[in-house]
Every structure is written in C-alpha cells, then in structure tokens.
Amino acid sequence: MDTKIDFQHKMSAHCETGTLTSLLSNVGLEITEPMAFGISHGIFFGYFKSKNFPFPTFIVRSRPGEIREKLSNALKIELKRFKFKNQEEGMQKLDSLLDEGHVVGTQVDFFYMDYLPEWIRVHNNVHFVNIIGKKDTDYIVSDSYHQRTANINSSLLKKARWAGGYMAPNGFLYYPLKVNPDVDLKKPIINGIKKACRNMLNIPIPFLGVKGIYKFADKINTWPQLTRDIEHLSHEIMKINILLEDQGTGGAGFRYMYATFLKQASNILNNPVLNEMSERIMEIGDDWRNISYFAAKIGKNRDLGANRIKELSELIRKQGDAEKKFFTDLKKVY
Amino acid sequence: MKEKDLYVEFEPQKLVYYVEKDDKSYGPIISGSQLSANYLDDFWIKRRNLEKKLRKRIIANEISPVFYYMTLQEMGPKDLASRIGISYLKLKRIFNPEHFKKLKVEKLTVLADIFNIPVSNLFQTFLIKDDDREKLVLEQETTENELYHITKVSVK
C-alpha cells in the first residue's frame, strides 16, 4: 500500500540533530538544531586509530545516537525504539509504522543513499534519515543532507539498515511517543553546558576532549609515513576539510553550531556572559575553518613536505590551547 | 564566520552552515560545499589514479578484488571483516588472489552486496576511454537473478 505522511522536509547541518528536531517538530515540540546539540552536550573531540577505519581519523562530536538519548532524557521525551535481527520483520515493522501514520527515524549506512552525490558517499553506519512514506517498491526519505525528499529502493534501504560491521545499525528505528511542547529549557541548557565542559576537559583518556586535539596535532606529523604515496597523503589531508566542514557539522567541526547554541542560551537564561562565550567559540570556529582551507590548499598543491605538515600541526595545537581556555572559562559560568 | 565570507554557489552539493548574519545574529544558511566547488576535479584525478594503480596490481595477481574495492570504498579491514562475517585474519587471507579464487559463489554475493556491485564486477572492469566519457553512459541493472546483471552502454 502506498503511503505518504504529511511532513515538513528541511535541510539541516547534521543528520542526527536534523532528523530528531524534525521528528519532534512533527509532534509539536519546536526546538532548534543548535539547542538540541547543546543540551545533549554534543560538542566533543577525539582522535582515533583503529582497524575499523582505513586511516587515523578524528571526531568532533559525541558518540552517534547519544544526542538523541541525552536530549530525550533531558527534555523527558518518550521515544519508541526498535532493533531487529530479522530483516523481514524489520521491514514489515517500518511499513506498519508508516501505515499507522508515524514518521520514522532510521539508522543507515550512508554509502547506500544513492540519491546523494557519489563523491560524498562513504561507508558510515551512523547516518540518520526519516522515512516519511512508501510508493511501490520505493521508500520516501527525508534526509537532512538533501534539498528535497528522495526515493530509495526497498532492497537498497534494507541493505543500508543491516549493513553490519562497526556500529551496525541493526535495522534501528525510532519515533517520538510523547513530548511536552512547553518544556522549560533553562535547567537542561545549564546541565548541557556543564557536561560539555567536563567531556572536553576531564575525561582521563589521552585522545579524547582537548587532549584529543593535542594528540591530533602530534600524530599528524606521522601521517606521511602511513600513506601509500603523495596522492594518498593529499587525500587524507584534504579529508580534514571534509570532517570539519562537509560531513554534517554546520561548519568548523560543530563549533559554529555550538556558538549558535550559546547565543540562544544567552537569550533564554538572560546571561550576557554566554553571549561573550558564543562570540569566542565563533572565533575559534573561524580558526578551525582556516585549518580546513589550509589543508585543502596544501593537499591540492601536493605541498606536503615535513615543514608544511608541521605548520598544520602547530595550527591544530593552537586550537587545543584555545579550546582548553574556552571550556575552562565556560565551566566557570555555572 | 560571516555569511558573505562563506557562501559558495555549487548546486550539486548543498549544505547547511551556521554563520554570523548581517544583523549579528547566528543562524543557518544553505550554501554549496566550498571543498567540492573548488577541489572536486582533484578528487577525481586522485580517484582515477588509484583505480589504475590497484587495477594493475589485480592484473599482476598481487591483490584480490576484495582489497581493490575495500581500498576504493575507504573501508577499514576490521569493519569489512565484520560485515562479511569472518575474522580479520581470514579477510587478510582473501586479499591474496590465491585464496580469493577458492571463495564460494555464496561468499562472493555477500561481498558484492557490501560493495554494492554486480557479482560479475569482482572479475571484470568496464572502462570508457577518456575521449568517449562525455558521449557514452554505462548502466548496470540488477535482475531477479541475483547472480545475473545486465550492462547497457548507450550514447548520451
């Protein structure tokens, strides 16, 4: 049976906050993407080397799925969640939820979203989209990274939902059951700020938080030894730009989005200090963006000698210093 | 980042960025990707060179198509092994063409499914000559038989 639920599609910076805020808006809770990000203390940094990845990488946000869980806890949102081992059962459940009129949040491997440009599609099991209907053998998808709703064939969606591997989606589905449209955001905002500071400053693991930025600054000097050739090194260096700007961060590795959150928080809490902090993290974001530009430029020019990489490393290290000071000062506000 | 400093026209890839607007407020705008707008040609050059290098290694029997697609699709080996349902050590063995040759069709379909390619593409590559790339288009269609695909070449 064909179904299409009335749903306002809109683009967002980030897939998890985008799908979540759209779902919540659909059931009456209006919350901005930066506010969802800030309350759920999504801002983060981590540097990783693992055989799950083809090359060392870094993250600029909390673990996928945590934004949804932290926000629902903070705002007392009741979510209905499902995971499936049996693929047929998982597809049938999706159909029945659509028939009942629910827009359904879904976790997928980004690689199979064939309506997006080929050059951006990589295997990444933590992409989130909303399914808003079904037509013949296609599902209708509201993807925050796409300008309009798109169709995806059911066999491809099935593949994307049960891709297996690192952080496998296992057919994950969710939708909001109950929200409070008049929820008071003040306390959740303050808690979100405190926890963000703790995560950035106090996790005793040498590659997480601000320590992760310093680790990145150190380790990038070893990248030339880890690459196949100059083109591989160029590709990995230019991926810094992708991870900071283009992979659903709102620019500058979520720092611009966090600045927007603090600006909104300043208004809600009537606290001008948060406005000043917002301007500071916006400037820190500008420096991350300069790193993105620099990485793209030296990568394209194959200007990747040891001195150039060291220069990049020093720029990253300065970001560590800036964020250490920023989060130390932010921590003092509450 | 001010709105005017960030905005780029690039229709194929639009993104949402948060910026400082003219009235000093912060909020989202939709802009083209700066990286794709300026550097996509470089991405494709590197990509084609990598394909070429890896293809040579397949032809020389140095690597298996599994290694070829894993590298091109930028997958981590442990992640790929987990998707296939085998150990990391076993995966490393099938990077070797001699071991790859011994795989059963059932396992090949699992691999093709992960890489989202027809099974037959584990044994062949279709190339369009540089001069003809603007004129020709190549499409591969699935059929009800999961082992059988149809490749259509047409003029644009």
**Average per-residue pLDDT in chain B?**
95
- Cα-to-chain-centroid distance, residue A294: 23
- Residue whose tokens read 């946000």: A61
Helix (H) or strand (E) holding B26: strand B26-32
For the segment A7-12, the average pLDDT, to the nearest whole number, is 96
- Name the token pair of B127: 């190339």
Q: Which residues of A135-172 are buried (b: 16+ CB within 10 A; e: fewer)?
A: eeebbbbbbbbbeebbbbeeebbbbbbbbbbbbbbbbb
pLDDT bracket for residue B49 (50, 70, 90): very high
For the segment A118-135, the average pLDDT, to the nearest whole number, is 97
Give how far B33 is from chain A: nearest CA, Å. Answer: 7
- Name the token pair of A200: 């950035």
DSSP collapsed to 3 states, B105-137? HHHHHHHHHHHCCCHHHHCCCCCCCHHHCCCEE
Q: Pick the residue of B18, B80, B83, B143 with the most A CBs within 10 A to test the interface with A by mutation.
A: B18
Give how far B36 is from chain A: nearest CA, Å. Answer: 9
What pLDDT sits at residue B133? Answer: 87
How many contacts, defined by CB atoms under 8 Å, are there between A and B? 137
Report the share of chain A in percent with pLDDT over 70: 100
pLDDT bracket for residue A2 (50, 70, 90): confident
From chain B, pick out residues whose CB is under 8 angstroms from the CB of A13: 15-18, 28
Angle between helices A272-300 and A255-269 (to 10 degrees): 170
d(CA B57, CA A281): 48
Residues sharing a CB contact under 8 Å with residue A182, sequence separation 6 or more, in sequence order = none
Residue A263, helix vs strand vs coil? helix
Q: Pick the residue of B5, B26, B36 with the most A CBs within 10 A to test the interface with A by mutation.
A: B26
**Average per-residue pLDDT in chain A?**
97
Instruction: Say if CB B79 and CB A165 are below 8 A apart.
Output: yes
Sign for the CA dihedral angle at A174, A180, A185, A190 comes to: negative
d(CA A118, CA A19): 22
Q: B35 vs A285: CB contact, 8 Å cut-off?
A: no
d(CA A239, CA B46): 13
- Name the token pair of A132: 């808003």
- Cα-to-chain-centroid distance, residue A164: 20
A201 and B CB contact within 8 Å: no
pLDDT bracket for residue B98 (50, 70, 90): very high
Beta-bridge mates of residue A3: A134
Q: B26 vs A245: CB contact, 8 Å cut-off?
A: no
- Name the token pair of B8: 């780029």
Give how far B72 is from chain A: nearest CA, Å. Answer: 10
What pLDDT sits at residue B156? Answer: 87
Nearest to B14 among A147, A168, A299 (CB): A147
A215 and B CB contact within 8 Å: no
Query: For residue A305, which amino acid is it?
Result: G
User: Looking at chain A, which residue has its C-alpha nearest residue B87?
Assistant: A165
A144 and B CB contact within 8 Å: yes
pLDDT bracket for residue B1 (50, 70, 90): confident
Label residue A107 exposed, middle or buried (CB < 10 Å: 0-12, 13-18, 19+). Answer: buried
pLDDT bracket for residue B130 (50, 70, 90): confident
Q: pTM of whole model > 0.90? A: yes
From chain B, pick out residues whose CB is under 8 angstroms from the CB of A260: 18, 26-28
- Residue whose tokens read 């040609």: B41
Nearest to B16 among A119, A250, A282 (CB): A250
Report the share of chain A in percent with pLDDT over 90: 99
Q: A111 vs B78: CB contact, 8 Å cut-off?
A: no
A259 and B CB contact within 8 Å: yes
The CB-side HSE value for A170 (13 A sphere, CA atoms) comes to: 9
What residue ranges in A69-172 does DSSP mark as E strands? 78-82, 104-108, 127-135, 138-142, 150-153
Instruction: Say if CB A180 and CB A29 are below 8 A apart.
Output: yes
d(CA A212, CA A219): 10
Give how far B137 is from chain A: nearest CA, Å. Answer: 16
The residue count for chain B: 156
Comparing CA positions, the residue from B94, B112, B114, B116 lying closest to residue B103 is: B94
Give how far A100 is from chain B: nearest CA, Å. Answer: 31
Instruction: Say if CB A115 and CB A100 are below 8 A apart.
Output: no
pLDDT in tens, A132-154: 999 999 999 999 999 999 999 99
Beta-bridge mates of residue B136: B155
Give how far A73 is from chain B: nearest CA, Å. Answer: 26
Angle between helices A66-74 and A15-26 (to 10 degrees): 40
Q: A53 vs B114: CB contact, 8 Å cut-off?
A: no
- Name the token pair of A176: 């909001």
User: Looking at chain B, which residue has its C-alpha nearest residue A50?
Assistant: B76
From chain A, pick out residues whose CB is under 8 angstroms from the CB of B36: 117, 119-120, 246
**Residue A269 pLDDT greater than 90, yes or no:** yes
Instruction: Say if CB A70 and CB A20 are below 8 A apart.
Output: no
What residue ranges in A74-156 does DSSP mark as E strands? 78-82, 104-108, 127-135, 138-142, 150-153
